[in-house]
Amino acid sequence: MEFLYASEVLVNGLMAGVMYSLVALGFVLIYKASGVFNYAQGVMALFAAMTLVGIMEGRVPFAHMINAAFGVHVENFGWTVPGLLAIALTALVMVGLAIAIEKLVLKHLVGQEPIILFMATIGLAWFLEGLGDVMWGADVKVLDVGLPQGISETVETVTNNWLGYGFFIDRLDIWAAVIAAVLVAALVGFSQYTKQGRAMRAVADDHQAALSVGISLQFIWIMVWSIAGFVALVAGIMWGTKSGVQFSLSLIALKALPVLMLGGFTSIPGAIVGGLIIGVGEKLFEFFVGPMVGGATENWFAYVLALIFLVFRPQGLFGERIIERV
């Protein structure tokens, strides 16, 4: 029976790993195009989720500022927007955000050191967090776009018939796994087999060299930040549906760090594999070792595992080999 319990923990770990991978994908895309770690990716997921809720509920943007400035009391437009249409409109907002980031931030940093770009993303993260609060309010929001939630009765029935023990798997996690698989397939195909994907990799290697051969840095950065914004939207939908749209959603970026260290900062499949390893590892470690050390191992297991990888394989499982020329 303990084996069946462990198997259930393993499956739930795989599902949790998929959720981590969704966040890590956005980091990989930005890193492949600019060679910098985008600290704002987690906040982009929060901002996308807040915008989606605001559009669905027909909220008035900047309502608090409008009320304070004009002495009125407005909260919403009096209508609601269907989930799919709201997702499409939010995706357009994220494209607009990508264009604004390129125009106001990135184009002024061409050729700068990676640490400068990294510092810019830190400032961007704090700005977006404040912008989201001012636009939509800082209250905890409920996000429901129609994705099925709750325990999957089908999985429970099938596993009970086969194994004599029903597995408790959340249907939202199953949908997240399917969506992540589709996203990875699309992104891998895009980066490997399209002209824009190859141009994206060229920009990551050398901004000035890419410019010299006619690659539009402006277009590439807008395209990549738009795709990363869409990935952040998907991650925001999954995490927001699971735990509500709140400030803690922006902290999921911290859980993506060990995922990237395992899978590699430049590998899209690596983000998925790293997420699965972290998800399964922390669940099984908590199940087998947790009771011996007082529990709460899920909070630190991923970072210890990432530290071990940094020592013995700093480029990650799928990252490009680090070659130093002397």
pLDDT of residue 124: 92
Tell me the CA distances in angstroms from 107 to 104, 117, 160, 195, 279, one per residue in order: 7, 11, 57, 22, 37
In this model, does residue 324 exceed pLDDT 70? Answer: no
Please state whether 146 falls in left (phi above 0), alpha (psi between -120 and 50) or beta. Answer: left
Cα 170 to chain centroid, rounded: 20
Q: What are 295-318's pLDDT values in tens digits?
A: 778 878 889 998 998 888 888 888
In this model, does residue 129 exceed pLDDT 60? Answer: yes
In this model, does residue 9 exceed pLDDT 60? Answer: yes
Write the single-letter amino acid at 46. Answer: L
pLDDT of residue 148: 85
pLDDT of residue 48: 93
pLDDT of residue 323: 55
Q: Is residue 48 within 8 Å of 226, Cβ to Cβ?
A: no
Tell me the whole-structure pTM to 2 decimals: 0.86
Q: What are 32-56's pLDDT values in tens digits?
A: 777 778 888 889 999 999 999 999 9
* Residue keyed to tokens 């970072």: 303
In this model, does residue 104 exceed pLDDT 70? Answer: yes
The larger pLDDT score, comparing residue 319 to residue 130, is at 130
